[in-house]
Amino acid sequence: MSRVLIFLSVFIVLTACNQQKGTGPIKVGTIGELNKAFENAKAGDDIVMANGVWKDVEIVFYGEGTKEQPITLRAETAGEVTIEGASNMKLGGEYLVVKDLYFKNGYSPSKALIEFKINDTLIANNSRITNCVIDEFTQADRDVTDHWVGFWGRHNQLDHCYIAGKSNFGPTVRVFLKGNEHINNHHQIVNNHFGPRPRKGGPHGETLQIGDSYTSMTPSYTNVSNNLFERCNGEVEIISSKSNFNEFSHNVFFESEGSLVLRHGNYAKIDGNVFIGNDNSKFIGGIRVVNTGHWITNNYFYKIKGNEFRSALAVMNGVPKSPLNRYNQVTDVVVAHNTFIDCISPLQFSVGVNIDKKDVLPASEIRSERPERFVLANNLIYNQNKDNHPIKAYDKVDGVLFKNNILNSEDKSDVTAHGFITKDLQVDQISENLFVPNQNYEDVYHGFDFETITQDIFKSDRTKKNAIGAMVLPIKDNTVLMDKKLYGTDWFSNEAPEQNAETIKVASTDNFQDLLKRAKSGDILSLEPGTYKVNEALIIDKNITITSANVEQKAILQIATEVNAFELHPKGNLNIKNVVLIGDNTQKAFATLDKNMSKAYDLFVENSEISNFKTVLEVSKGSFADTISVVNTTIKNSLNGFLLNKETDSKGDYNAEFVLITNSTFDHVQNNVLNYYRGGYDESTIGGNLVLSNNTFTNSGKGSEILIENIGIVNVDISNNTFKNNPVKTIAVLWGEKGQKPVDNNIQNSGEIKIEQNLKQKLMY
- Give me the least distance between CB of 329 and its own copies, in Å please: 8
- Give me the least distance between CB of 316 and its own copies, in Å please: 15
What gap in Å lies between CA 433 and CA 620, rounded to an integer? Answer: 41
- Give me the least distance between CB of 217 and its own copies, in Å please: 5
* Partner residues linked to 555 by β-bridges: 579
Q: Which of 12, 36, 111, 179 binds its own copies (CB under 8 A)?
A: 179
- Give me the least distance between CB of 336 and its own copies, in Å please: 12
- Give me the least distance between CB of 189 and its own copies, in Å please: 23
Instruction: Burial-class residue 117 by CB neighbours within 10 Å (0-12, 13-18, 19+).
Output: buried
Q: What is the CA radius of gyration of the chain?
A: 29
* Partner residues linked to 278 by β-bridges: none
- Find the part of the chain contacting its own copies (CB under 8 A) among 161-169, 220-228, 260-268, 672-680: 260-268
Q: Which of 126, 156, 191, 216 binds its own copies (CB under 8 A)?
A: 216
Contact flag: residue 213 with its own copies (CB under 8 A): yes
Phi, psi of 518 (to 5 degrees): -80, -15
- Give me the least distance between CB of 291 and its own copies, in Å please: 7
Contact flag: residue 155 with its own copies (CB under 8 A): no
Q: Which of 291, 466, 587, 672 binds its own copies (CB under 8 A)?
A: 291
> Could you say which DSSP state residue 417 is in?
T
Q: Which of 178, 389, 595, 724 binds its own copies (CB under 8 A)?
A: 178
- Give me the least distance between CB of 370 and its own copies, in Å please: 14
3-state SS assignment for residue 538: strand
Contact flag: residue 323 with its own copies (CB under 8 A): yes
Residue 293 or 680 with smaller CB distance to its own copies: 293
Burial string for 303-326 (b: 16+ CB within 10 Å, else e) reads bbbbebbbbbbbbbbbbeebeeeb
What gap in Å lies between CA 677 and CA 693, rounded to an integer? Answer: 19
What gap in Å lies between CA 103 and CA 51, rounded to an integer? Answer: 13
Residue 58 or 449 with smaller CB distance to its own copies: 449
Contact flag: residue 539 with its own copies (CB under 8 A): no
Query: What pairing do the DSSP bridges indicate for beta strands 347-351 and 252-254?
Result: unpaired
Residue 452: how many CB atoms within 10 A of its CB? 10
Count of residues that bind its own copies according to CB under 8 A: 33
Q: Which helix (H) or strand (E) holds 34?
A: helix 31-39
Q: Which of 322, 354, 633, 655 binds its own copies (CB under 8 A)?
A: 322
Contact flag: residue 244 with its own copies (CB under 8 A): yes
- Give me the least distance between CB of 331 and its own copies, in Å please: 8
- Give me the least distance between CB of 323 and its own copies, in Å please: 5
What gap in Å lies between CA 109 and CA 269, rounded to an integer? Answer: 36
What gap in Å lies between CA 575 and CA 51, rounded to an integer? Answer: 39
Contact flag: residue 334 with its own copies (CB under 8 A): yes
* Partner residues linked to 27 by β-bridges: 48
Site string for its own copies, 634-673 (x = CB under 8 A): ----------------------------------------
What gap in Å lies between CA 676 and CA 656, rounded to an integer? Answer: 8
Q: Which of 143, 181, 395, 717 binds its own copies (CB under 8 A)?
A: 181
Residues whose CB is less than 8 angstroms from the CB of residue 124 and which lie 6 or more positions away in sequence, other chains included: 91, 92, 93, 94, 96, 116, 117, 118, 152, 153, 156
Residue 293 or 488 with smaller CB distance to its own copies: 293
Contact flag: residue 328 with its own copies (CB under 8 A): yes
- Find the part of the chain contacting its own copies (CB under 8 A) among 321-329, 398-406, 454-462, 609-617: 321-329
Binding interface with its own copies (CB under 8 A): 178-181, 183, 213-214, 216-219, 244, 265-267, 291-293, 321-325, 328-329, 331-332, 334, 364, 373, 448-449, 765
